Structure 1
Amino acid sequence: MVDSSELVRAGIAHLEDGQWHAAIRCFDEAIILRQATDWKSNPADAWGLAAAWINRSDAMRAIGYLPDAIESLLNAIRAMDFVPLPDHPAYPERLILAWTNLAACHADSLQFQPAYRAFSHAEELLNTWGRDLTPTRRFLGAMVHTNRARLLLSEGNHIAAWQDASLAVETLRDLETEPEAIPAAIQARGVLCTALAQLLEDPRSAELEQDWIARATDSAEEALILARSVEYQGEWLTGLVRYCAKIYRICQPHFLAEFILETCAPPLFPDMSSSLKNDLLSELALAKSDLILRISGSSHETDFMQTQLKILRSLQFAESELAK
């Protein structure tokens, strides 16, 4: 007879393969078995039950069943009430994970106040148990900052989103030697660049320090290096490239063509989506239009003119290469 631990391991394997419904079936069976025990009196069983509920929520979230994902996480948190947190470093970490994921699910559901409350609760736990004591806790702290930054962006609070995303990037910097942390590091930088791209049209951007644009473009380049190191092709890479191209176009157009040509080369985008390609072509067209306006208003004999023409040719070349 298959025991609950084997079922959870099988469910996790299905999660990794993207087989969401098969994963849910495994977790449901594991939950039934664990709930049949005297788990409230046995911390090990309560701990295992919480794990099954958390993994079940991941599968539910993946298929868009957010109310079920939220309920699963609430059940996990209830199970953790019967686990003595001081007894092992991993115990508070599982509870922090549950609250962090709950906040993210509320954020995905656009339930702003419950999301902020859950983020605050996760941070309280991190502060209580020591956010820097283990790599896992540092990682969880970064996830709180990244996911809250996403929520702040959806509310139009670009500066606070920028600040939270910046903290996530810095927190993850020491963890980037671990392959499992690289997607999170790329996501954090993607949120940071998204915040900057939206800040470019926000008059409150003057409140930030002077080097904010350089920090954003540096973060984007770091993310691309990380992505190349593991041939990462997840969803956050597309958003990062899209928003970084906008930043280069507005703030540093002389680097735009080089950025696009280097980014579009394998292994990052062996098969670029038509949507991303069209967005990049649009940024190139806008950059050319802005450049032509600058050229038309200047003398034809100046060094400035020659520099602008060189940039224009680079944009035209990138456009022709991207359109192939």
Structure 2
Amino acid sequence: MMALLELFKPRIALLAALTAAVGAVLTPPGPAASILPPAAAVFALAAGACALNQYQERRADAAMPRTARRPIPSGRLRPAVALGAAGVAIAAGTGALAVFGGMPSAALGLLAVLWYNGLYTPLKGHSAWAAIPGALVGAVPPLIGGWAAAGGPPPPAVWALAGFMVLWQVPHFWLLLLAHADEYRRAGFPVLTERFQPGRLVRVTAAWTLAAAVSSLVLPLYLDPGRSWIACLILLPAAGLSLAAVRLLPSSLDRPDGLYRRVFGTINGFAVMTLALLLLDRALVLR
């Protein structure tokens, strides 16, 4: 059972569900009861996509110490079982989206799976730039939530959230790459550390990290103006992430891996805090 839970990467699936929920509540009238079924469906769909990704990358995972203990390469779960579990979760998530969010939401969900597992995952083995198109997957969960709540195209606030998630995804992956570049290289993945001159990737990652922080400052424009204190609170994680990005400079590929891991943790915490504050604002509106 624990192996199946690990296969589904529940933390990543929960983040996708959270962004779908925020997309729903940013869509007027956004009743609280209407966000739960689409968010749960997105959780199932994301969990299935993560499981399918582990099935696809099981040989590469076995070659990297960071991932060798995952359920499939460690032998705790047979590949066929993992593939079946992924298929069940994807089918359940898609079906639930069709029922509770409508066919456009279900189509968006399937598009995300096709993009992530059909394009991004294979592209990682051929291009060091795979993170750029792969980041577009991050835009889909809030659009699903917004579409399900609106019964049609979501409002500008949801599109702003989708853009924020895209900008967050790229440095999220590149920080992980900087911390584990040798492992990715030994596993056969093309890596940007071989394409850039020493230090340039760190500077580029710092710039993307700062862009993610700045993009979050657009989101308070869509909040209730009567609760400016929440908008002010959103400044705090943005400021923290900006300081973390500055710590990457002056850039050097010889910087300790621990620094990259700390900034990686910071950028993840930044996203969760920003989404939680957006959800809090809408919860206060709807109470």
TM-score (norm 1): 0.31
**Greater relative contact order (Cα < 8 A, sep 6+):** 2
Determine which structure has more spread, i.e. the larger CA radius of gyration. 1
TM-score, normalization by structure 2? 0.34
